Amino acid sequence: MSELSTFPITRKWPPRHPQRLQLYSLPTPNGVKVSIMLEETGLPYEAHLVDFATHEQASSEFRSLNPNGKIPAIIDPNGPGGRALALFESGAILVYLAERTGQLLPHDAAARYVALEWLMFQMSAVGPMFGQLGFFHKFAGKDFEDKRPRDRYAAESRRLLAVLEQRLAGRAWLLGDEYSIADIAVFPWVRNLVGFYGAGALVGFEDFGNVARALAAFEARPAVARGLLIPARAREPQP
C-alpha cells in the first residue's frame, strides 16, 4: 500500500481510512456510476464529497488528481504492483474496478468487448446528449426563445432510447442475463433524464417499455439504492 500523503488532494480531503480506495465524487449520473460499482463489488472505500456549489472541482487540490476538473476520480492505495493508482473518467474507473475485482465484466473475450462497446455508447452518446437536453429543458437553456436546440437534443435522446429499446428486447440487461458495467454506466443517465431532468414526456419515454423495465430492475438493486446516495450531501465521518 502506498502513502496517500504524496497526493495533494489529500490535504483538502484527508483520508480517515487511508488503506481504503478513496472516491472523490458527487451524486450525479457520472458520479454514481462509481459509487454503485463499489457497492456492487464490495470493495472497501471512503467517499469524499466534491461540492460544486463552492466550486471544489476547480480547486488546485482536485485538479492535481483530475486536470479536467470533473468528477468522479479515485485513488486506489493498493493499485497495480502495490503502488497507488490515481484515475479519473468514470468509464476508465469502471473498467479498472471490474478488472481489479474480477466482477461485472465478462471473462469471455468476445463478451468483454460487447460490454465495452455499450460502455462506450454511454460515454460517447447517452451522457452527452441527455446532458445537453437537461440544460435546454431544465436549466438556463429553458429560457431561450429559440427551441431548436432543445428539440434537436430531444430528438437525439429519443433516437438513443430507441437504440436501447431494441437492444433490451428479449434481454434482461444490455448483455443479456448478465448485469455488467455497461448497465451501471447507462441507467443512471436514463434515470436522470426522466427523473431529475423531468424530460420523460418530452422524449416520449412511455414508448420505451423495455428501457423502463430494465431501469426499474436497476433501481431495485440494493447496491444501486445505496450508491445513488453516495457521497452524502453533508460531510459526515464514515465508520
pLDDT digits (tens, 9 = 90+) for 109-158: 999 999 999 999 999 999 999 999 999 999 999 999 999 999 999 999 99
Q: Considering the chain, what is the average pLDDT of its residues? A: 95
The SS3 assignment for 185 reads: helix
User: Cis ω on the peptide bond leading into residue 106 (within 30° of 0)?
Assistant: no
pLDDT tens-place string over residues 78-89? 999 999 999 999
Q: What is the mean pLDDT of residues 168-196?
A: 98
91, 105, 227 from 98: Cα distances, Å:
11, 6, 16
Locate cell 468483454: which residue? Answer: 112
Could you give the CA distance from residue 119 to residue 180 in angstroms, rounded to a whole number?
Answer: 9
What pLDDT score does 233 carry?
Answer: 64
Q: Is the pLDDT of residue 168 over 70?
A: yes
C-alpha cell at 137: 429543458
What pLDDT score does 13 carry?
Answer: 97
Q: Is the pLDDT of residue 235 over 50?
A: no
User: CB–CB of 47/226 below 8 Å?
Assistant: no
The proportion of the chain whose per-residue pLDDT surpasses 90, expressed as a percent, equals 95
16, 77, 92, 157, 164 from 47: Cα distances, Å:
10, 14, 18, 31, 31
C-alpha cell at 40: 456492487
Locate cell 474507473: which residue? Answer: 93
Q: Is the pLDDT of residue 1 over 60?
A: no
Count, in order, helices (H) and strands (E) of the chain. Answer: 11, 4
What pLDDT score does 3 carry?
Answer: 84
**Would the CA dihedral through 228, 187, 43, 1 be positive or negative?**
negative
User: CB–CB of 144/136 below 8 Å?
Assistant: yes
Res. 193 pLDDT band, cuts 50 70 90: very high
Q: Which of 1-5, 23-27, 102-106, 229-233 has the lowest mean pLDDT?
A: 1-5
pLDDT tens-place string over residues 33-76? 999 999 999 999 999 999 999 999 999 999 999 999 999 999 99
What pLDDT score does 232 carry?
Answer: 84
What does 112-155 look like in DSSP terms, one character per residue? HHHHHHHHHHIIIIIHHHHHHHHHHHTSGGGG-S--HHHHHHHH
